[in-house]
Copies of this chain bind each other. A is one copy, B any other.
Amino acid sequence: MFQALADPNRRQMVQRLSEGPASVSELAAPLQMTLSAVVQHLAVLEGAGLVRSQKIGRVRNCQLETQALRAAERWISERRTLWERRFDRLGAFLAEQAAESEEENGA
């Protein structure tokens, strides 16, 4: 899924879809590439569960699937807070050490 978000064109597609549903050609419009390539990118996004789409008549309607985005967000968030919490504990420890050192000086 991070793999899917790794490509800037795909991120642009996600960006576009975050503003509302779109057809394949609407997604393709701002991207300087073939419709074929866009469909391939779309397949990656769908494979990652980031986008859902259904064909109505001859146009395929695509929309964002927030579940997957939420999962990615959570993964990052968990790692980040884990590290930050560790950092805070370290800070507290150092502060404590400093305080003890102060005491020793005082005694």
Contacts and interface: CB of A to CB of B under 8 A. Distances in A.
Interface of A: 2-3, 5-6, 11, 14-15, 17-20, 64, 66, 69-70, 72-73, 76-80, 82-84, 86
Nearest to A90: B20
Contact of A19 (B66, B76, B82): B82
Contacts of A18: 78-80, 82-83
Contacts of A5: 2, 6, 76
A83 B68 CA distance: 13
7 contacts: A2-B2, A6-B6, A17-B83, A18-B82, A64-B80, A66-B80, A66-B83
